[in-house]
A and B are shown apart, each in its own frame.
Chain A
Amino acid sequence: MKSSLTGKLTFALVEPDTGLAHAVTMSPPGIVDELRRSGLRGRGGGGFEVAEKWRLCAAAEGPGRFIVCNAAEGEPGSFKDRAILQGFAQLVFEGMTIAAAAVGASRGILYLRREYGYMAAHMESVLAARRHAGLLGQCIPGRGDFDFDISIHLGDGAYVCGQETALLEYLEGRRGEPRNRPPWPTTRGLRGAPTVVHNVETFAWVSCVLARGAAWFKNLGTAGSPGLKLFSVSGDCQRPGVYEFQLGFSISELLETVGAERVKGVQIGGASGRMIPPSQFHRTIAMEDLPYGGAIIVFGEERDMLDVAGNYLRFFVRESCGQCVPCREGTRRLLDGVERLRQGRCPAVHLDRLCELGNTIRLTSKCGLGQSAPQAFLSIVSHYRRELMGRERHERG
């Protein structure tokens, strides 16, 4: 397999453990303040402010605290976390250690999806080297009372385990079904203890912010979405790969960078994201406009948008945990609708009903998986309706 990394990434320029060296000279609230000034938000998709999560966790009462790194990366179209772990695992573990110092945790867990099991040996060797260098384990230098170590847990194949409370259920040995929130994991997380859960990329940015300073990060990107972010770009373009952008870039800029022409649509945010048609390519990726997940797939003019909608819905039918009805049954009905469209057997009024159903799923599902499951279908119907209707009639499975 070849490297997916493109161009000059900040992660390649930052010297590992400069951030940690800086952090151990600061007080725990001082570390949180520095992150607050940087404006760093979670890079997994939710976009919650990192400093606030840490403050809540540090303030909560509990027997011990946990730092969990979420490397579930199940979102179709996303591979940036895989590339980060392969290229910059040091920065990720460093970020977890900084988080531990800030909230007072002594145990960290890397949840690695089973599909990335081939990386586990490399991760273990990086952890062993860090223990040997005194950067993990007992009495980390600079702070005599600071003990922290990280273990790796391999997943068993369930997309919903990327949802933070489902991930915690998994780590406790149960079905990975999302919990009701509140309580939030920062108050009652793993085994009832206050827990900080972040995406792989978030921890790597924590290390960069501590190494280069909050002002450096804050001055990049937009007011509402400061800083840099990695994006996985794939599909019909000449140069797919992992790209670093300042938040606030437009889709047209992106398409030029990756060498994409004659584009029919761009799916932003993976299967749980939405399809953007060419008339909206001036729009920008930032919290203020199009929320970011990290997965961008380019679809050329030859693509059949019905195939795309069907592929994403099959994914959700397979991955729905079945806990709540709108998601479990609703996604099946939508997929059935896609099959009817394909066979030229779907009356317009039925398609309208399916869109109503899609909105109901969005409003009434319990977790983010269900709430976002109909999104790709709805955006494809709203922008490409003409292409979907009036297909030649034939019976196909």
Chain B
Amino acid sequence: MLTTERDRIGLEIEKLVRSYHNDCGALIAILQEVQRRYRHVSQYAMQVIADALDVHPAQVFSVVSYYRFLSTTPRGRFVIQLSDCIAHDAVERAAVARQLENDLGIRFGETTVDGLFSLEHTGCIGMCDQGPVVSVNGRIHTQFTADRVGALLRDCLGGGDMVAAPGRD
């Protein structure tokens, strides 16, 4: 990363923390916004936040590492999650999982080299009666089948209405 870009991000984060009156009770709100903007919370970001809030960076890290929706490495622009809820049909779900891996060329838990897609498992997301369920940046697709994977990925790239805008929930 160029120093200038790092400085720019540092200033942006300091400004963000100031907008919360440097209140450490707002730590999670600040982290959510950093995650949304930069798709991860880097070590540098954690240090800047810690300095601005006057707490130890370990405290910031303890929070970042605790929550699933905060990550220390960049996630893809499109985060695709497949629910492993036990109520869903296991055969259908396995087919969807294989097709997602085939189309993206990555395994679950990985991000494509171009930074576009992350593929993840998620626990039950409250759609037990309508599985298998795929979520793309928080947008839910119920009764999902393997033959719909191609259209879903095309929609991500073409800005279609099957997916929410990148970086949003």
Contact = CB atoms under 8 A, between A and B. Distances in A.
B135 A173 contact: no
A172 B70 CA distance: 17
**Interface class of chain A by DSSP:** mixed
B142 A77 contact: no
Interface in A67-104: 73-79, 81-82
A295 B87 CA distance: 11
Interface in B113-146: 122-130, 135, 138-140, 142
Interface string B139-169: 1101000000000000000000000100001
Given A157-B69, A173-B27, A235 B87 contact: yes
Interface residues of A, number: 48
Nearest to A312: B86
Contacts of B112: none
B129 A1 contact: no
A319 B169 contact: no
A232 B32 contact: no
Nearest to B26: A173
Size bin of chain B's contact surface: 35 or more
Contacts of B128: 76-79, 232, 234-235, 240, 295, 297
Given A4-B129, A74-B123, A156 B142 contact: no
A78 B66 contact: no
A54 interface: no
Interface in A1-42: 1-2, 4
B69 A76 contact: no
Interface in A91-134: 114-118, 120
Contacts of B87: 76-77, 234-235, 240, 297
Sort A-B residue pairs by CB-CB distance and give the 9 closest, nearest first.
Answer: A157-B68, A156-B67, A234-B128, A240-B129, A76-B124, A234-B87, A173-B27, A117-B169, A79-B126
